[in-house]
């Protein structure tokens, strides 16, 4: 059986059937997969992990996604929206501690006040860091005009997770209405790429109703879309969500964890020079989950620098780790963990994906 996996790993391109076989590997076989992914990572992006200081500044959301703990329909969550001053203090912390980049993340909103607020925060963040801080934003579906406005204000990377590239499965985990439209999500991703963002997406792994074929299609979707970065992690259920009612269909947490590592490894081999995040959700299952992801292909990690008092209220899933650690503690802890994994830390670097630079060159040649 390991010979079969070795043959697949020698291929230049994986078919859907190849990917399914890699996702189904046993313990011995997956070590071949993980070793290959680490080799590819070393050659194409280097054994270096980049920080993205994560600022989860608000859990107010207009969406009602079936899997999410901060969905609009959850009346049992305490809503918060930290001040601009606190957000900028977190940006300054990241800059002073040589992170290189931050991520602005919140619940999804499209109102005018929110859009203008983000624009001003981006401008101020650049000003207080002398233009040196890299900024990723993950603020959901917006109009093309809004994306342009934020891009011009200083954001250069955008993460918008598709959650599932299969339309039928998408509507099993989202309501089917104007606020949760699959085609709108796809259009938003294409808008981001067209505007010039380093464009990222991702999926949840181990969802109810999800098959190996769905996951293989997700990886092929990333490849076809020519994505620059991916953030994907194991699905972890939340009791205050409709999807929790289907928990008996779920794989055990450990299997969801291993499946996520396989997805990261396969993607690293398929898309050698993109950025891949080690999701915090991995650590909710395994204390060194993010480090294991780094060993099999991930190269981005997001220390949480949200004010500690608000972290427990930004739980998209339950048992989220690090909600009681201050930003300094989180930084020191991760530095030690990444060192153990064998990677260096790209202090002071934006850590842009080589794929983005290569893709832009290709675009120029095709003009």
CA distance 150 to 290: 30
pLDDT at 46: 97
pLDDT at 246: 97
Domain at 2-8+18-365: CATH code: 3.20.20.70
Instruction: Provide the H-helix boundaries in the chain.
Output: 2-9, 16-23, 27-44, 84-96, 112-128, 144-153, 167-173, 182-195, 212-225, 253-270, 280-285, 289-295, 308-311, 327-341, 354-365
pLDDT at 364: 45
Q: What is the pLDDT of residues 3-46, one digit of tens each?
A: 999 999 999 999 999 999 999 999 999 999 999 999 999 999 99
DSSP state of 179: G
Say which residue the tokens 């977190």 belong to.
Answer: 90
pTM above 0.85, yes or no: yes
First to last CA, the chain: 46
Average pLDDT, the chain: 93
Tokens of 259: 């499946």
pLDDT < 70: residue spans in the chain:
1, 308-332, 360-367
pLDDT at 307: 81
pLDDT at 170: 98
Burial grade of 97 (CB within 10 A; 0-12, 13-18, 19 or more): middle
Tokens of 184: 């709108």
Structural domain boundaries of the chain? 2-8+18-365
């Amino acid at each position: 059986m390991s010979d079969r996996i070795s043959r697949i790993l020698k291929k230049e391109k994986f078919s859907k059937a190849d990917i399914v076989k890699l996702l189904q590997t046993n313990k011995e076989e997956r070590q071949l997969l993980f070793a290959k992914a680490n080799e590819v990572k070393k050659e194409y992006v280097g054994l270096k992990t980049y920080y993205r200081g994560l600022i989860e500044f608000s859990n107010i959301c207009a969406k009602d996604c079936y899997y999410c703990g901060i969905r609009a329909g959850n009346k049992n969550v305490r809503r918060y929206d930290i001040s601009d001053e606190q957000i900028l203090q977190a940006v300054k912390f990241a800059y002073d501690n040589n992170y290189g980049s931050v991520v602005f993340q919140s619940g999804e909103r499209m109102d005018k006040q929110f859009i203008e607020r983000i624009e001003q925060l981006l401008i101020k963040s650049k000003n207080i860091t002398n233009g040196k801080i890299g900024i990723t934003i993950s603020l959901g579906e917006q109009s093309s005009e809004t994306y342009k406005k934020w891009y011009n204000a200083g954001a250069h990377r955008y993460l918008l997770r598709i959650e599932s590239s299969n339309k039928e499965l998408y509507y099993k985990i989202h309501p089917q209405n104007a606020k949760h439209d699959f085609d709108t999500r796809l259009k938003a991703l294409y808008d981001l790429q067209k505007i010039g963002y380093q464009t990222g997406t991702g999926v949840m792994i181990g969802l109810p109703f999800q098959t190996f074929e769905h996951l293989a299609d997700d990886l092929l979707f990333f490849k076809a879309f020519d994505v620059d970065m991916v953030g994907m992690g194991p699905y972890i259920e939340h009791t205050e969500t409709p999807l929790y009612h289907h928990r008996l269909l779920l794989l055990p947490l450990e299997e969801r964890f291993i499946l996520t590592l396989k997805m990261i490894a396969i993607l690293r081999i398929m898309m050698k020079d993109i950025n891949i995040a080690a999701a915090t959700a991995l650590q909710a299952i395994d204390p060194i989950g993010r480090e294991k992801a780094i060993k099999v292909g991930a190269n981005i990690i997001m220390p949480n620098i949200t004010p500690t008092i608000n972290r427990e209220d930004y739980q998209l899933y339950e048992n989220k780790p690090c909600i009681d650690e201050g930003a300094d503690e989180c930084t020191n802890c991760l530095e030690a963990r990444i060192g153990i994994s064998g990677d260096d830390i790209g202090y002071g670097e934006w850590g842009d994906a080589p794929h983005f630079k290569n893709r832009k060159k290709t675009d120029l040649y095709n003009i």
